[in-house]
Structures are given as C-alpha cells and as structure tokens.
C-alpha cells in the first residue's frame, strides 16, 4: 500500500521542498489547525495561518484549479505528503520504495481498516452519505436555476458534509481503537477532535436540511425529514461513543486565537 504509493509519487523539486520547510517554520502558523477544521477554506478566518491551505494554494496555482472538492483536497494532501517522504528519503539515502507489500505490519493495518469500516457508527454514517449524495447532486442544478442564495448555500453545505461526516467518524473510530498512539501535541485524544468536527458537521447539515424543508424550498417527498432523522440518530451515537468530543479544544478555533 505505502510502498506502491511512494513508488508512484512524483519527484518533488528540491527548491520546492526547501520552500515548504521554510514555511513550516513560520511562527504565525497555527500548528495542527488543519486537523480539526471542516475544510471549507473560503469561510475560514485562519487561512493565512494554516500550512495546509497555503500549500494547497501553491498546488492549485500550479495546476490552475482553485475549485476542488473535499475528496480532491484529501487526495492532493496525501500526494503532497508522499512527495515529501520521497524527497526526505532521497536526501537521507533511504529507499522508501523498498518496503514490501507483504510486510506483516502493513497487512495488520489493512485488516484493522477493514474492521473499522464495518463499525456500526461508521456504517451508520455511510448510510447517510449513500442517501444524500445522489439527491444533492440532482438537486443542485435545480436550486441554482431558481437563484435563491440561501437555498443554494444550504445545498452546498449538505453536499460538502455528506462525505466529510463519514470520513471524520471513520477517523475517530479508528483513532479510538489505536488509543495508545492517538494523541495530539497537547495530549488530547485525536479521536475526540475528529468526533467533534463530525458533530459540528452534523449540526450544520441539519440546519441546512431544515432550510430546504421550509415551505416552497424543496419537494423531495420526505427525504429532507428522513435525512434529519438519520443525522439526529448519528449525533446521538457519536456523542455516546465519544462523550468528551465537544470538550476538545481545536487549535485556533476554540483556544481564543485571534
């Protein structure tokens, strides 16, 4: 898995790598802020203090595309990390591509991921994604044609969080299972941070669905109400499994940073 990805990672330009290292040392950056945000950068007041955002802007400028989905952002971030690993390996004389796909530890990781995939909460969040994704994709051109900014924003919010929520719940569940290594720099369990932003995404999604449920806003034959019920149930499940989630202090967002 990792060996194959590293094998296909492009060679990072040495000067590009050095620029990134210099940026990492910028004291204005908020360490780890990107781990616990909702990924909606245009709405964030901390973009100029976020390493991931600044790095993504460089990548987007090179590709000529500033409009990417959450999934594309994740893919770009992973690729960027692999590029950096490859560059570090080259500088240190370490052949990272020599890792074998049949490595016992790698197999254990893949098996663990499979177990987490079938976790009841993960399955519950995935069911919501499967319900919502095709509906909002079909609904988006309709509401855009109607031109109601409030409804357009609601649909965009629902679409964004439809995959975001399930990915963060998966991370929370997997992190909780690996609790001995699941700590951020401040000693807080990372899984609580992941669970918190999933809960915040659930809250935003419910509010957006309720906008669509207002008279004359949507005709989805009861789907908005069904989606809200699923989100209510998911919210209850996440809070029960991660009772300390909302107490997690997210860097930048919850610690009084200006």
185 and 68 together in one domain: no
- Please tell me the number of Cα atoms within 13 Å of 23 on its side-chain side: 16
What is the pLDDT averaged over residues 71-81? 55
Final residue in a domain of this structure, among 70, 86, 101: 101
97 and 122 together in one domain: no
Q: How many domains would you assign to the chain?
A: 2
Final residue in a domain of this structure, among 51, 77, 101: 101
Range of the domain at 141: 105-247
Mean pLDDT of the chain: 77
Residue 1 clears pLDDT 50, i.e. is over it: no
- Angstrom CA distances, 10 to 18, 76, 140, stand at 16, 12, 36
Lookup result for tokens 């200006």:
258
75 and 111 together in one domain: no
Cα gap 204→200, rounded to integer Å: 6
Closest to 155 (Cα-Cα) out of 142, 145, 140: 140
The vertex-233 CA angle with 231 and 235, nearest 5°, equals 65
82 and 115 together in one domain: no
User: Is 255 part of a structural domain of the chain?
Assistant: no
User: Is 145 part of a structural domain of the chain?
Assistant: yes
26 and 116 together in one domain: no
**132 near 164, Cβ under 8 Å?**
no
Final residue in a domain of this structure, among 101, 127, 148: 101
206 and 113 together in one domain: yes
What is the pLDDT averaged over residues 210-222? 68
Write out the H or E segment, with its range, that includes residue 191: helix 190-213
14 and 121 together in one domain: no
Digit-coded pLDDT (tens) for 130-188: 999 898 888 888 888 888 899 999 999 999 999 999 999 999 999 888 765 555 556 78
120 and 242 together in one domain: yes
Q: Give alpha helix (H) positions in 98-189.
A: 104-117, 120-146, 149-177
CATH code, 112 = 1.20.120
In the chain, how many H helices and how many E strands? Answer: 9, 0
pTM of the shown model: 0.74
37 and 67 together in one domain: yes
61 and 128 together in one domain: no
Cα gap 145→151, rounded to integer Å: 11
User: Is 236 part of a structural domain of the chain?
Assistant: yes
- Please tell me the number of Cα atoms within 13 Å of 124 on its side-chain side: 17
């Amino acid at each position: 898995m990792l060996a194959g990805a590293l094998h296909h990672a492009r060679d990072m330009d040495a000067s590009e790598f050095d620029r990134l290292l210099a940026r990492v040392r910028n004291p204005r950056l908020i360490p780890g802020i990107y781990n616990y945000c909702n990924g909606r950068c245009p709405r964030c007041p901390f973009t100029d203090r976020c390493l991931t955002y600044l790095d993504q802007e460089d990548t987007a400028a090179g590709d000529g595309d500033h409009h990417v989905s959450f999934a594309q952002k994740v893919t770009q971030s992973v690729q960027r990390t692999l590029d950096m690993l490859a560059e570090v390996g080259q500088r240190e004389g370490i052949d990272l591509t020599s890792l074998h796909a049949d490595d016992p530890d790698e197999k254990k990781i893949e098996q663990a991921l499979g177990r987490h995939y079938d976790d009841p909460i993960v399955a519950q969040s995935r069911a919501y994604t499967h319900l919502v994704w095709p509906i909002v994709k079909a609904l988006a051109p309709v509401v855009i044609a109607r031109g109601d900014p409030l409804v357009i924003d609601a649909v965009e919010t629902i679409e964004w969080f439809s995959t975001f929520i399930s990915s963060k719940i998966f991370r929370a569940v997997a992190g909780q299972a690996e609790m001995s290594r699941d700590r951020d720099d401040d000693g807080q369990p990372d899984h609580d941070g992941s669970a918190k932003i999933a809960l915040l995404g659930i809250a935003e999604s419910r509010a957006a669905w309720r906008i669509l449920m207002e008279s004359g806003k949507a005709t989805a034959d009861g789907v908005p109400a069904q989606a809200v019920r699923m989100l209510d149930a998911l919210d209850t499940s996440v809070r029960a499994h991660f009772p300390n989630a909302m107490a997690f202090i997210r860097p930048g967002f919850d610690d009084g940073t200006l």
